[in-house]
Structure 1
């Protein structure tokens, strides 16, 4: 995102920088042999972990620059350092500094290209940004949702935020405005700009609350152009809602399904035909046998955290595809944000929390910040329709291949019918 980066970040994320990193070791060698071999081992290990943990399992498209960082540099730098550097006129006292700086540069370049990934393409926006345009974001009081709100109001959009805890959102709103003001001040701009934040109470685990929120939005904000269905939960144990539904499936899919039915009539009347961006996850690949449409409530199978979570996440992808079939004017996208530093671990089993704490620094190096995690969401909010596949699955601002079962014949229609059955039909449009 050019408005949010800077020449330094752009430079280190380029393939030419990776080539420079590949050449630098030719001028380095450690005076301390033990330290040299330690650094030589750290680079390939870090690259291997990134490749396995992020590139393979988390659907992050790998750029040419990232491939160089992950493979060429770690493999060839020890060879160059061992064979060439001793023959170069470099004072021994400086060799460790060269090697240390090179290793830091490698780690940063790899993090920037593989973990963070590309920034949103905002070239389609005029000098007006998103001024005069209105977005709705669910779950905007923390994490990726809060960061999404921040990026949208930076661009002067009006954002209607649906949250369960309005008190928490009021605190988040103050924090967002503080960050926006600092961001603008860094660019010589004063104040908050023309962006606005409107808070509406909505508990996605209560269908009555969702319908009430939908009614408020239809009445007070009929000109909503885009829904960002961001909110989601991970419950390690089965939770039953007041409607007798599974809590995780309701928060991650059924509640959003009802909200879409409440607002889709307004969306399709908007100037560009309406957009819906659904937050999903690469864990949808864990649904090895596809979507179990007849058991969304997990009544006929053992409840497991990732088993039910993956079912809810593949629902997001299938719903994005089905919405395009039912409402041709809509543009939809299912977005995997990446591995992001959020408080999602608050609901995870104690042993996972302990591992996250124990290996905190390692986990930190493999995770995006919430703002970086919202890049693909913002990209799909503004990308030109002629440059994107409708109903596609996205990661790192790039279209990706989803679980093959998401394209199963008739699965979208069956999910729609089952969702209507479980939610009482929703609002007819």
Structure 2
């Protein structure tokens, strides 16, 4: 999908592959194109059943921030839509301007973020064009993937696990100057080398969901999946689920995917997942998965497929599914949860938790090491991006609406400074070997 994008000398140089020294000779523009919400529009959805994000997400010029000593300015070639973009655009569960106000009280660098507009976006890939005076390991011209984990390295809690610091932030959600723009502002410890075989739109759409799933399933802070573990994956063709299924399969586990249509079942089977349940076949009636018999019927379906109950349940849907998740996990099993997209208040029969010695593991985001390890798997071609649709930045509202209304599978990408799809590939040999896997969600 080609689009004109915006043009200035620096962006044109990035697109043409200019070297780092050449990029440094060009002026950083005072303003740049970005997708943002407005503080004075908080409340516009009051009384509306359909909170259409196309009303609240605007694309226009914003001021270029001055990087702090530990920060970099990146020309964003491509970004992606996550559910936190939807939450930001509907101003729920709280308006993200509250986060920016709190961040603004941290001092002069934090004060830059407290603005009447919020540039959104927590996933992206691009080219470094400026580095702060304290940045040592990165330079202009480096091709990078952007991690959304914004950590305070001066917090002692972050040295064991950055997510255990007192106030970890989601970049582009709880901070300003996110990835949905021609440029963005990041801390240097958010940068990761771009996988050489991926296009910009593929590279910029994986980190948030893939690394979240990695922490939940593989890392030492989650369920610690081992070979042979049966893992129930809800929403297996969604942003999180599409990576969870791959990680389970790649790590020697046995994924059991739950989907909502025959088309999605075919897609997840094409990913190599043998065991798939279309939840519409469970015949649960109007109550759906909150039906009192849902757990029993789901458990029977799982046992018909794999002969045993799941040792791990990969949860992020929340209210609609949590009772069934607790029920179906085997004795001593683990329910690992990172969100509640269908509602935060969960109901489950506690007898099936305590009497069968099950555990609920809360998981939030990921640390820098987990983000790097996830992208290493992607760079090796062991885990693949799941981009299904690509929009231009000028249609960021439409892209976010597609995620809001669940009219997508996998990931929705947004071209920012990149002139068209398919650019950014350096390792064509690896890409040719993986072509079928890379294009799976685009079919």
Q: TM-score range by the shorter chain?
A: 0.3 to 0.5
Normalised TM-score (structure 2):
0.36
Could you say which structure has the greater relative contact order, defined with CA pairs below 8 angstroms and 6 or more residues apart? 2
Q: Which has the higher helix share?
A: 1
Q: Which has the higher strand share?
A: 2
Normalised TM-score (structure 1):
0.37
Larger radius of gyration: 1
